[in-house]
Amino acid sequence: MAELIAKAALDGQGPVTRAGLVLSVLPPAPVWSIAPFPGEDLTPALAALGLDFPAPGRSNRAGDLRLIWTGRDQAFLLGGRPPEGLAAAVTDQSGAWAGFSLSGIGGEAALARLVTPDLRLAAFPVGHVVRTGLNHIPAIILREGETEFHIRVFRSMARSAWAELVEVLEHLAARAAAVQGGASAPARTG
Amino acid sequence: MRLTCPLCGPRDRREFTYYGAEEYLHRPGPDAAPDLSQGGAWDNYLHLRDNPAGPTRDLWYHDQGCAAWLLVSRNTLTHDITGVELVAARKGARDEA
Ligand SMILES: [Zn+2]
């Protein structure tokens, strides 16, 4: 078999810093889809790893492993291989997804320009996950920390998603610069 | 317009794709006559629809969310959404699909 070169999505793309936010590409890491067969309970098998099958919109972690809800009767295991023999449809999707980190104060305000669900901390605490559209791009968004989001999109849409996010950061930076520079609002009459 | 997905919570209508009437859950059985003659089970299943002024039920797909099929009850006169349930959670769902 030919020697294939593993290349990250947006290979060589450095972080972009604007408006106090840092957008960067997550390093390639294992992504496995786990969809339990109907009526099967994975609790004992996952408990051996310190994990639990997540409720909708939730995730849990154990060491480097993280199990995030991604759809009806489906979760993604991040950071490692699932055990053999799970009573589930298990597929390696590592090469199919691109991940970004958006960190800094006000990440939710940036995402609010692209995403309809409320991602503020009170409504979307650390460890919660949402599957929604990033503008028109299907995305899985995880609140990694109080000031960090992880955004995953189909790898084929990585460049578009990156462009959408960078554009939002540029708009926020332009607005901040305008406010700081004392640009006055249009004069009001009446 | 918003639909409250049983899994994802309230979401914008743009996250969903409309499929069609609830009738699509009631596919004719294997004993139904395999022709499309007028008024037959397959003709009804594929083509004949009511056009209710009032409560109606139809299928939506949450494609930008959890990828679940939903049965939505709504009112065509008031635009009220009165219920959203998972097709997969319905009794005998696996026979309906
Ligand atoms: Zn949903």
The answer to whether the CB of A34 falls within 8 A of the CB of A77 is: yes
User: Is A167's pLDDT higher than 70?
Assistant: yes
- A120 φ, ψ (degrees, to nearest 5): -70, 155
- A35 φ, ψ (degrees, to nearest 5): -120, 105
User: Is A17's pLDDT higher than 80?
Assistant: yes
ipTM beyond cut 0.95: no
Which residues sit opposite A130 in a β-bridge?
A141
Neighbours of A156 (CB within 10 A): 10
Averaged pLDDT, B30-53:
87
User: Is A184's pLDDT higher than 70?
Assistant: no
Residues 4-23 of B with CB under 8 A from A: 7-9, 11-12, 14-15
Lowest pLDDT segment from A40-54, A147-161, B36-50: B36-50
3-state secondary structure at position A85: coil
Contact check, Cβ <8 Å, B7/A72:
yes
The answer to whether the CB of A30 falls within 8 A of the CB of A78 is: yes
State the DSSP H helix or E strand holding residue A116, giving kind and residue range, or none if neither: none
Measured CA to CA in angstroms, residue A108 lies from A97, A112, B8, B52 at distances of 22, 6, 18, 42
State the DSSP H helix or E strand holding residue A136, giving kind and residue range, or none if neither: none
Closest residue in B to A115 (Cα) is B12
CB neighbour list of residue A190: distance below 8 Å, 6 or more residues apart: none
Predicted pLDDT of residue A185: 54
Identify which of A38, A56, A73 has the shortest CB distance to residue B8. A56
The answer to whether the CB of A138 falls within 8 A of the CB of A154 is: yes
Length of chain A: 190
* Mutation site for B-interface testing, chosen from A132, A135, A141, A153 by largest number of B Cβ within 10 Å: A132
Predicted pLDDT of residue B76: 96
How far apart (Å, rounded) are the C-alpha atoms in residues A107 and A175?
A: 15
User: Is B96's pLDDT higher than 60?
Assistant: no
Closest CA to B35 of B26, B49, B22, B45: B45
Say what percent of chain A tops pLDDT 90: 88
Q: Which amino acid is at A110?
A: A
Q: Which tens digit of pLDDT belongs to each residue from A96-112?
A: 999 999 999 999 999 99
Banded model confidence at residue A133, pLDDT cuts 50, 70, 90: very high
How far apart (Å, rounded) are the C-alpha atoms in residues A121 and A111?
A: 13
Say what percent of chain B tops pLDDT 70: 94
What mean pLDDT is reported for chain B?
90
Measured CA to CA in angstroms, residue A130 lies from A86, B65, B83 at distances of 25, 8, 22
- A13 φ, ψ (degrees, to nearest 5): -75, 120
Predicted pLDDT of residue B39: 80
Residues 13-72 of B with CB under 8 A from A: 14-15, 63-68
In terms of CATH, what superfamily is B2-96? Folate-binding superfamily (3.30.2270.10)
Neighbours of B97 (CB within 10 A): 10
How far apart (Å, rounded) are the C-alpha atoms in residues A99 and A8?
A: 10
State the DSSP H helix or E strand holding residue A177, giving kind and residue range, or none if neither: helix A158-180
Banded model confidence at residue A16, pLDDT cuts 50, 70, 90: very high
CA A181 to chain centre: 34
How far apart (Å, rounded) are the C-alpha atoms in residues B21 and B42?
A: 15
Domains of chain B by residue range = 2-96
Helices (H), A55-152: 107-111
How far apart (Å, rounded) are the C-alpha atoms in residues A159 and A140?
A: 16
